Every structure is written in C-alpha cells, then in structure tokens.
Structure 1
C-alpha cells in the first residue's frame, strides 16, 4: 500500500476568515471595556443636557403637585430681564479675566523654577502641588477663617504696620470679597497647572537649548525662541482648562460668601444652583444653565481659534 504525500514546496491554503474573526473579537473586547465609561457618560452628561434643554421651556419646579407645562421662551425672557443675572455675568467675567492670566502665568513661573535639576526640587514640587489634592470645600473653609476680621490675614497686616492699619472685613465688604476669592482660588489651583507646564517643558528637546547656548543666547532669548514656541500645545490646553474652571465658579462662593455681600460674588453657576435647589425653580435654573453653556462654548472656541497653530 502506498500513501500519497504532499508535493514538496506546496503551500497550505490560507484561512482568510481568521483575520476577520480576530478583528471581530478585538472589537467586541474594546466595546466591552469602553461600555462602562460610555454608560456613565450617557447617564451623567448626555441625559442631563437633554433634560436641561427640555425643562428650560417649561414651568417645572423641583417639588410640585402639578405637572410641568410648556411655556415657550418665558424663562429666557425672565432671565434677560433679571438684574442679578447680569451682575452674575459681570462677576464671572471679572473672576475669569483675572484668574486665567494670573494663574497661568504664576504656574508657568513655578514650572520653570522646579524644572531645574537641583537637589531638593522634588520637595518644592510636592509643596506647590499639595493644595490641589485638598478638597476645595476644605480650602474654602480654611480661608474663610483666615479672612475673618480677627483672622490670621488681618493679624499679619496689623503686625507689619505696627498696629496702624487694621485689615478690612474681607468677605463682608463688596469691594474686597471677590479679590479675596480670587486669591484663594489661584493659590489652590496653581499647582495643577504647574504640573501641566512642567510636562510640556520636559518634552522640549535638549538639543535646542544646546544649540541656543552655542549661539550665545541669553536666558530671555532661550525662553522666547525655544521654550515658548515649544509650549504651543501645552499653553492651549492650560488656557482652555483654566477658562472653563473659572467660568464654573461655584464651590468657593457657596462656602465663603453665598453670593454676597450685595450679590458682589454671585456667579452664573451659583445663581443656577440657587434658583434650582434653594428656590426650587428648576425650569429657570435650566434656562440659566443653557445660556451658560452657550457662553462657555463660545469663549472656548474663540480662545482655541486664537491659540491655534498657524501656517
């Protein structure tokens, strides 16, 4: 009996379905891993946005025995006739206009300082970043005690002036309440953006600095022509994130001033939460939230356009 053997050099048939099955399996695995995040995104982002859009055109209240009715643009007409809303817009714009350049600039200075390769630099990185890992509620409560008339800030002022100057009521004076909140907010958030700037600094090739040194460039010219252009993407991210956080001002106001005194620290988000939960005007709060969303989106798009990479 003879057996047939395959001719030498003869190739086996290729299983063309194996790559397809592999890709399908990988797709199902990726979908399964992404499913929890997608579900959370839909539940806590998409659904609230849709509900806010729908409620803004009704007379819904947080707790009411009567069902909500469609009222058209009535909430928006009330909103644009509300003087507190315009004051909250001015306060939010003032807060953002000061915090964005101040916090971004100070964070960049700190990043440049801790980017040096010297002994003990990790200690300073930790100290600068420490306020970031502390809850904003805890920080706000701490600074509320510091800002009291008999608090540490006024005691320091009195000691430095040998008792000739008494510090003001920082959170009780309309002229000093918002600057006090701004100072605390910058102190708490500067460490986070310092880390972002530091990450951007460490992506710049060292060869560029070596070439600048060979050309006899000064520190200012190195920063202007090497460091700053190398931080193009980083500064866009930093500016956009600080702007969004500044427009979302709420926790500090809720804990420290409750919008006062005389609405001098009321922000748009605080007004929306106050209307929706304290006054139970859910539909009116939804209208404020929609207007706020459009404003923040517009500012972010303009900022992104101005900081885009040209050419």
Structure 2
C-alpha cells in the first residue's frame, strides 16, 4: 500500500512546488512592473509624446500663438527648408564644420591627456581633477566667462598683445564672421575634453601590463607599443567616444545662444539653434518641428554610418 501511494504524494508535492514558484514569479513581476511604472510614465510623457507631436506638427502650418487652427501642408515645410531658407543651409554647413573639427581634435587631445595622466608619477591625481573641472562647470557659466575673455579688452587679446609686444592686439573674436565659429570651437573643445579624457583613461587601464612588457622584450619602442598594444586595446572605447562626441557636436546650441545668438551674419547659427529660433522665438511651430525632424534623421544616419565604419569586422 505504501509503495503505491508514494508516487501520488510526490506528484502532489511537486505540483505544489511548481505552483509556488509560478506564484512567486507573478508576485515579482507585479512588483517589478509597479516599480518601473513611474519611469515608464515619465519616458512616455517627456520623450515619446514630444517625438510623436513633433512628427505630426512638422506636416502642418501650426504656430505657437495663432487664432487659426493648424492646417495640414504636407511636405511644404521640408521643401521650404531645402529650397527657400538660406539660413537653414548656412546652419547645416556651420554644424558640419563644427562637428568635423571638434570630433577628431577633441578625441585626439583627450587621448593625449589620458596617456599623460595614466603615468605613475606623483601628483597625477591633481592633474586629472584639473582637467575635469570644466566638465562639471555649467556650460552656461563657461560660455559667459569665455564671452568676456573674447571681448576687445578681454584676457585673450591682452595676452596676445603682451606676447607679441604690441605687434598684434587680437581681434573682436565673436563679432568677426571669420573667427566667431572658430572661437566657439576652441571653447567647446576645452570644456568637454576632460570628460572624454576620463573615458580614454578607463580604457587604458583595462589593457594588461603584460602586453607592454612583452612588447618591450621584443624591442618595441614607445610608438610601436602604442600602435600594436594601446590602440587595438582601445577599439571599443574609441567607438563609444566617436559616437558621443559626434552627437554632442551636432547638438550645438547653448554656446551659440549665450555668446552670439547665431551672429554675426548667421556665421555661428547651428541646426538646433535655428530650429529653436523658428519654433519658439518666431513662433513657427510647424516649421521648427520640421527642422527638428530633419536634424533627428541626420544625426541617426551619421551615428549609424559611424557604427558601420567602426564595426568589428571579425
């Protein structure tokens, strides 16, 4: 009798354990969903909904304050941007120049600083902090300070006048169309290079020291160690840095808004600044949304192209 009831008892116990585990999973799933709900709600309200609204508004003639209801205009806003808006063309060119200069220079300079502060010498922590201070300083504050430095009687022109013994006293950096964008490029590189220096530094510290010892035993010099050990070990870090710098460079706005307001003669207008100016200050919400959509597609394509070109071919 006992041997006949044992399988039944074991089956019931196993069934209870399975039901208990299933009940525990459902309980954890409910708690997980409840804890994720606030973040999901905020994500929907402040990311997904604005993106959908921008997409819808880009096909209308909506204005920020207007007694007339929005009207569907199809692709008119996009046609206007590419054929009837010279400021859009200039802003796209300025953004491309800014990104083309900032991305390689900032990445290369940050790598150079990372290699320097990766040395095992006294006081290296202090240098890391010094290089990182501009990153934690508000970009608005930094832009205001550099705006004063770029003035005719500012620190930069005074330094130039002193170093050249009065032969050249500088120029009105932000009022000259030929130097305004370059001045903003210098500021932007100086402000953000410390952040990417730390990322490069974290990548450098993951490379095993044994590889350098083996390279030195084979007679490799400093440059050969960098080419054959350091750079291959930084491949994944390089991809991340290139993508992040590119996205940040294409989104240039605060420096322009604080320092030049797009001038002089639209020589510093960026795509984001032009979209904000059209959408809010000039109250052309529909056209501003179309410019934002163009910017989004451009950034997405560039990021995908970068990811494709830097992919691991193995």
Q: TM-score, normalised by structure 1?
A: 0.94
How has the CA–CA distance of structure 1 residues 224 and 274 changed in structure 2, closer, same or farther, with 3 Å as cutoff?
Answer: same
Distance 1:40 1:194 in 2: 32
**Structure 1 spans left out of the alignment, 5+ residues:** 1-5
- Cα deviation 1:204-253 (Å, max 9, x = unaligned): 22222222222222111111111111111111000000000000000000
Which secondary structure state, in structure 1, belongs to the residue aligned with residue 13 of structure 2? coil
- Cα deviation 1:86-139 (Å, max 9, x = unaligned): 100000000000000000000011111111122211101100000000111100
Q: Which residue of 1 aligns with 2:178?
A: 175
Which secondary structure state, in structure 1, belongs to the residue aligned with residue 79 of structure 2? helix
Distance 2:235 2:143 in 1: 33
Q: Which residue of 2 aligns with 1:3?
A: none
244-253 or 37-46, which deviates more? 37-46
Q: Which residue of 1 aligns with 2:43?
A: 41
Q: Which residue of 1 aligns with 2:59?
A: 57
Q: Which residue of 1 aligns with 2:197?
A: 194
1:270 matches 2:273:
yes
Q: Which residue of 2 aligns with 1:13?
A: 13
188-197 or 61-70, which deviates more? 61-70
- Cα deviation 1:258-301 (Å, max 9, x = unaligned): 00001000000000000011100000000000111111111110
After TM superposition, the structure 1 = structure 2 runs for residues 195-234 of structure 1, keeping only pairs within 5 Å, are 195-234=198-237
Deviation of the 1:34 alpha carbon: 2.6
Q: Which residue of 2 aligns with 1:302?
A: 305
Q: Which residue of 2 aligns with 1:155?
A: 158
**Structure 2 spans left out of the alignment, 5+ residues:** none
Q: Which residue of 1 aligns with 2:79?
A: 77
After TM superposition, the structure 1 = structure 2 runs for residues 63-102 of structure 1, keeping only pairs within 5 Å, are 63-81=65-83, 82-102=85-105
Distance 2:67 2:294 in 1: 28
Distance 1:227 1:30 in 2: 42
From the two aligned structures, give the one with the greater helix fraction. 2
Distance 2:305 2:60 in 1: 31
Distance 1:32 1:118 in 2: 50
- Cα deviation 1:11-38 (Å, max 9, x = unaligned): 7923112222232233333323332222
| Runs of 4+ with deviation above 3 angstroms | none
Q: TM-score, normalised by structure 2?
A: 0.93
Q: Which residue of 1 aligns with 2:243?
A: 240
184-193 or 207-216, which deviates more? 207-216
Distance 1:20 1:210 in 2: 54
How has the CA–CA distance of structure 1 residues 35 and 199 changed in structure 2, closer, same or farther, with 3 Å as cutoff?
Answer: farther
